């Protein structure tokens, strides 16, 4: 989002969060109401948040509470710089609220214990995958499901996938960068490309590459690949991204306070 705002000549964007595209909208490059341009809030496919663990799952990780236990090394990116990390945080928070009966004080304490176990906090989700998969650091990677499936496909003898009892419906969003596409005469082609992502052909491609198709009929065909029974919260449960950023991710919001508690214990 920052690179587009600062001059990258993008015709379209496909970003981890609708909030990131809203930043481009506020910069005047994308029209208001862009989420209504395509189906499902302009999210042609989805993902969710899972755990990638070492083969055999030596730490016995089954759910979110296991990530907060002493001696477990967690890899997850920084929500201050990574959209995927925001999904990770909200998925963990969702489990905490459910587990503690809506008690935010206990949920915050759980989150503090979890982030106390984070040994490497990269700036982005791909960097965290590299840290865990290629550099061999950590016991568990909190990851996009598609990233975890890709890692398992590339290294079938090294990793196992663990789906927690509660996660979140992660919706990568797409939009035409109107001002830039129009300037280059690419507006129609850009719109057609994003519309194509909803076609049966593209939905099949998404599924084969680890994303959950937004087409429910095609998604059901891949029930052997995706756990369709996991309980998924939604960003709307948090009041949308603006509200989530105010509560959790803006400066001095809850994430900063949790990290202050973690660093204060160090």
Residue-wise pLDDT tens digits, 197-256? 999 999 999 999 999 999 999 999 999 999 999 999 999 999 999 999 999 999 999 999
- Give the contacts of 150 (CB within 8 A, at least 6 positions apart): 209, 210
Q: What is the overall mean pLDDT for the chain?
A: 96
Average pLDDT over residues 174-195: 97
How high is the pLDDT of residue 71?
A: 97
CA angle 35, 37, 43 (to 5 degrees): 55
Average pLDDT over residues 17-43: 95
The predicted model scores a pTM of 0.93
* pLDDT exceeds cutoff 60 at 13: yes
Structure tokens at 2: 């920052």
pLDDT category of residue 265 using cuts at 50, 70 and 90: low
How high is the pLDDT of residue 264?
A: 86
**Dist CA 236 CA 238 (whole Å):** 5
* pLDDT exceeds cutoff 90 at 178: yes
Structure tokens at 199: 């076609």
* pLDDT exceeds cutoff 60 at 136: yes
First to last CA, the chain: 34
For the purposes of burial, counting CB atoms within 10 Å of the CB of 54, is it exposed (0-12), middle (13-18) or buried (19 or more)? middle
E strand or H helix at 3: helix 2-5
Question: In residues, how long is the chain?
Answer: 266
**Dist CA 180 CA 177 (whole Å):** 6
**pLDDT, tens digit, 9 for 90 and up, residues 90-134:** 999 999 999 999 999 999 999 999 999 999 999 999 999 999 999
Q: Can you point out the beta strands (E) in the chain?
A: 12-15, 45-46, 49-54, 74-75, 118-120, 140-144, 159-162, 166-168, 173-176, 212-213, 231-233
**Dist CA 33 CA 14 (whole Å):** 16
């Amino acid at each position: 989002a920052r690179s587009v705002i600062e001059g990258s000549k993008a015709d379209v964007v496909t970003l981890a969060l609708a909030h990131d595209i809203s930043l481009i909208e506020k910069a005047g490059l994308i029209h208001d109401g862009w989420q209504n341009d395509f189906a499902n809030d302009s999210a042609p496919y989805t993902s969710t948040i899972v755990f990638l663990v070492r083969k055999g799952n030596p730490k016995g990780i089954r759910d979110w509470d296991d990530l907060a236990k002493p001696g477990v090394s967690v890899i997850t990116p920084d929500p201050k710089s990574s959209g995927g990390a925001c999904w990770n945080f909200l998925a963990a928070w969702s489990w905490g609220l459910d587990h503690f009966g809506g008690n935010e004080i206990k949920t915050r304490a759980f989150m503090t214990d979890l982030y106390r176990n984070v040994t490497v906090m990269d700036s982005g989700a791909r960097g965290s995958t590299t840290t865990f998969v290629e550099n061999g650091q950590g016991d568990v990677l909190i990851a996009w499901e598609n990233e975890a499936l890709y890692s398992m496909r590339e290294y079938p003898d090294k990793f196992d996938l663990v789906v927690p009892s509660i996660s979140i419906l992660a919706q990568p969003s797409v939009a035409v960068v109107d001002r830039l596409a129009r300037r280059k005469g690419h507006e129609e082609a850009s719109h057609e490309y994003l519309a194509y992502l909803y076609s049966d052909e593209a939905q099949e491609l998404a599924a084969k590459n680890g994303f959950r198709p937004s087409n429910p009929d095609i998604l059901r065909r891949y029930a052997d690949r995706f756990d369709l029974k996991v309980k998924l919260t939604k960003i709307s449960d948090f009041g949308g991204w603006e509200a989530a950023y105010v509560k959790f991710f803006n400066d001095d919001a809850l994430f900063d306070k949790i990290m202050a508690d973690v660093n204060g214990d160090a």
